[in-house]
Amino acid sequence: MAEDAPTPPARTPRDEDDDYAVSLPRLVVIRLSILVIEFVTRLGDLAVLALRPRLLGPYLGLWLREVLVSPYRLRRSFELIRLLQASGQRFNELMYGETPVHTALWLFRKAGLGPGGKLLDLGAGRGRTLLAARWLGAEATGIELLDFHVALAAKPLAKTGARLVAGDANCVVLPDATHVFLNWTALSPETRARLVTRLRACPPGTRVLTVTRPIQLESFVVLSRHHVLFTWGLEHVWLHEHQPHPDTKV
Ligand SMILES: C[S@@+](CC[C@H](N)C(=O)[O-])C[C@H]1O[C@@H](n2cnc3c(N)ncnc32)[C@H](O)[C@@H]1O
């Protein structure tokens, strides 16, 4: 390269965040499709919850809070930046999206969740998946990094018997679970790798569902792959079973 060739300006973390910028026409198409998906998924949720009327009130409470305080608009406050520094994550990793109750219900059934089972959602957001676990008669716990979500959602969820608690999934003591749900679409490879390290401590037979990407570790055997609807569109989900080699040290 010639000595005086212009060097591109160094990319700042802020520039990298702007990789998500889209043109106006594309933004309009995205917004319209999100509206259609919102309509379809809410209708699907209401249809399945009509079969469990005691879950309907808390679901409507969560929905109302979502309308009043959007989970999709996060402000870069000092508090948030400090939290991200502590968890070693970037702002983009907090990009929000939910699993509709009917999607979670279908997936959890495939995974064999039912009475006596314990679901753990790592990165639980406002806890929509927890309602699906309660629908199936299982225990339901969600760990969420942002207190902002927990403060809004924990109370209505508690009425169903589900628990949503604030914490970093990579640091807190994880409750034992028969099933783990990981909607890790936005997480960086480094954060995903740390989570997988934690999952290796799960007892043999634990079933783990991951969105967008499977777990690439021999001891997590893929049982099935599904293509299902989320609030942002269709996505693949992998169902794994933890089958560590008997000699494997955790
Ligand atoms: C895509 S949302 C999924 C919400 C929910 N699991 C669902 O599927 O409906 C991912 C959530 O993970 C949370 N999150 C990101 N990093 C986390 C961490 N280290 N510990 C706990 N939660 C985290 C984000 O704040 C966000 O609310």
Query: What confidence tens digit (pLDDT) does each residue in 77-109 have?
Result: 999 999 999 999 999 999 999 999 999 999 999
Query: Mean pLDDT throughout 217-227?
Result: 97
Ligand 1: which of 183, 191, 195, 199 to mutate, judged by most atoms within 8 Å of the beta carbon?
A: 183
| Dihedral (CA of 167, 218, 133, 72) sign | positive
Measured distance CA(115)–CA(78) in Å, rounded: 42
Decide whether any atom of ligand 1 lies within 6 Å of the 131 Cβ. Answer: no
CA of 41 to the centre of ligand 1 (A): 19
Q: In what order do the strands lie in the sheet with 179-182?
A: 163-166, 139-144, 118-122, 179-182, 207-211, 233-242, 220-230
Strand ranges (DSSP E) for 73-162?
118-122, 139-144
For residues 40 and 175, which has the higher predicted lDDT (pLDDT)? 40
In this prediction, residue 66 has a pLDDT band, given cuts at 50, 70 and 90, of very high
- Nearest ligand 1 atom, CA 142: 6
Q: Which two tokens stand for residue 135?
A: 């629908």
Q: Which two tokens stand for residue 209?
A: 């569902």
Q: Which two tokens stand for residue 27?
A: 């933004």
For residues 174 and 58, which has the higher predicted lDDT (pLDDT)? 58
For residues 104 and 4, which has the higher predicted lDDT (pLDDT)? 104
- pLDDT tens-digit series, residues 172-215: 888 899 999 999 999 999 999 999 999 999 999 999 999 999 99
Residue 101: DSSP 8-state = H
Round the average pLDDT of the chain to a whole number and report it.
Answer: 91
Ligand 1: which of 89, 94, 188 to mutate, judged by most atoms within 8 Å of the beta carbon?
A: 94
Decide whether any atom of ligand 1 lies within 6 Å of the 45 Cβ. Answer: no
Ligand 1: which of 145, 157, 191 to mutate, judged by most atoms within 8 Å of the beta carbon?
A: 145
Whether pTM > 0.95 for this model: the answer is: no
Query: Mean pLDDT throughout 34-62?
Result: 97
Residue with tokens 């379809």: 40
**CB distance 207 to 111 below 8 Å:** yes
Query: Mean pLDDT throughout 29-53?
Result: 95
Q: Does 10 have pLDDT greater than 60?
A: no
Q: Does 9 have pLDDT greater than 70?
A: no
Decide whether any atom of ligand 1 lies within 6 Å of the 128 Cβ. Answer: yes
Ligand 1: which of 38, 96, 102, 184 to mutate, judged by most atoms within 8 Å of the beta carbon?
A: 96
How many C-beta atoms surround the C-beta of residue 81 within 10 A?
11
Output phi, psi for 5, to 5 deg: -60, 135
CA of 118 to the centre of ligand 1 (A): 18
Task: Give CA separation, 211 vs 97, 101, 240, in Å.
Answer: 11, 15, 11
For residues 39 and 31, which has the higher predicted lDDT (pLDDT)? 39
Decide whether any atom of ligand 1 lies within 6 Å of the 146 Cβ. Answer: yes
The least confident of 68-77, 147-156, 162-171, 203-212 is 68-77
Measured distance CA(133)–CA(118) in Å, rounded: 8
Q: Does 148 have pLDDT greater than 70?
A: yes
| Dihedral (CA of 75, 96, 168, 17) sign | negative
Question: Which residues make Cβ contacts (< 8 Å) with residue 92, sequence separation at least 6?
Answer: 16, 17, 20, 186
Query: Mean pLDDT throughout 223-234?
Result: 97
* Domains of the chain from N-terminus onward: 22-242 (3.40.50.150)
CA of 7 to the centre of ligand 1 (A): 38
Confidence (pLDDT) at 21:
73
CA of 183 to the centre of ligand 1 (A): 7
For residue 73, the one-letter residue type is R
Q: Does 113 have pLDDT greater than 90?
A: yes
